[in-house]
């Protein structure tokens, strides 16, 4: 517990030459004169608060195990999903003949998106 000095124990400073310093010293004297001792009120309130809820010890290993199972499932499914996506993309692009202007427009949009992402990422660093 921090004890504040009583007004009578405050040292008498030499008259400060700065007006702001004088105001601050006078304000400190006034505050010390009207100080009310709280007699450990904050400590009493904090001691009466309920204990924070803690997580059970088994929770962290269970979460790690579940994330591990999810990761293994994704790793097992990824090759098949990638193959299916590639096959469908090939079917989509092979079914429709694209003109040179459409290809250029798609490449321009992809380039702008890529450079916008790079610029935003560089600004955050």
The average pLDDT across 64-79 equals 94
Share of the chain above pLDDT 90, in %: 44
Contact 37, 6 (CB under 8 A): no
- 74 Ramachandran zone, left/alpha/beta (phi>0; psi -120 to 50): alpha
In this predicted structure, the answer to whether residue 122 has a pLDDT above a threshold of 70 is: yes
Query: Residue 94 pLDDT more than 90?
Result: no
CA separation, residue 98 to residues 102, 106, 108 (Å):
6, 11, 15
- Model confidence band, residue 106 (pLDDT cutoffs 50, 70, 90): very high
Q: Mean pLDDT: which of 1-5, 64-68, 85-89 is highest?
A: 64-68
Closest CA to 32 of 68, 6, 65, 71: 6
Q: Is the pTM of this model over 0.75?
A: no
Q: What residue segments make up the domains of the chain, in order of their start?
A: 7-48, 59-124
What is the sign, positive or negative, of the torsion defined by CA atoms of 109, 111, 115, 121? positive
- Least Cα distance to 58 among 47, 50, 66 occurs for 66
Give the confidence band of 93 by pLDDT, cuts at 50, 70, 90.
confident
Q: Please, which pLDDT band fits residue 28 given cuts at 50, 70 and 90? A: confident
């Amino acid at each position: 517990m921090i004890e504040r000095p009583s007004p009578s124990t405050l040292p008498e400073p030499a008259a400060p030459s700065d007006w702001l310093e004088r105001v601050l010293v006078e304000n400190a004297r006034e505050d010390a004169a009207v100080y009310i001792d709280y007699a450990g009120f904050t400590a009493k309130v904090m001691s009466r608060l309920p204990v924070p809820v803690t997580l059970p010890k088994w929770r962290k290993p269970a979460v790690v195990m579940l994330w591990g199972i999810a990761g293994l499932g994704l790793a097992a499914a990824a090759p098949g999903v990638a193959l299916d996506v590639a096959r469908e993309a090939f079917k989509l692009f092979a079914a429709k003949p694209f003109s040179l202007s459409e290809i250029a427009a798609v490449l321009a949009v992809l380039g702008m998106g890529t450079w916008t992402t790079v610029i935003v990422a560089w600004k955050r660093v």
